[in-house]
Amino acid sequence: MDLPEVGDTIDAGETFSLVESVKAASDIYAPITGEILEINEELGDSPELVNDEPYEGGWIAKVKLTDPSELDALIDGESYLATLAEEA
């Protein structure tokens, strides 16, 4: 697991982390622009939390939002799953 550092600036749509498994490596893209305030140190020892607890212990970073209007472009989990079903 390649984590960003506290103080790093991330840009919406750009990669900021990398998750590696036995089968593949996947880039993680920032949904918003901002500054990394905190990273989840638990992922260093337990990277499986990203998959096992994505809404609880599997968070990657806490970010200070730069532009609140970017939130308008995000969708919720239910809408995302519906989009995946349409594309399948």
Q: Which domains does the chain have, with CATH numbers?
A: 9-87 (2.40.50.100)
Confidence of residue 20 (pLDDT cuts 50, 70, 90): confident
pLDDT greater than 90 at residue 84: yes
**Residue ranges with strand state E in 1-88:** 9-10, 15-20, 25-29, 34-39, 61-65
pLDDT per residue as tens digits for the range 28-83: 999 999 999 999 999 989 989 998 998 899 999 999 999 999 999 999 989 999 99
User: What does the alpha-carbon distance between residue 1 and residue 21 come to, in Å, rounded to a whole number?
Assistant: 9
User: What does the alpha-carbon distance between residue 28 and residue 34 come to, in Å, rounded to a whole number?
Assistant: 15
pLDDT greater than 90 at residue 8: yes
| Average pLDDT of the segment spanning 10-17 | 97
Question: pTM for this one?
Answer: 0.82
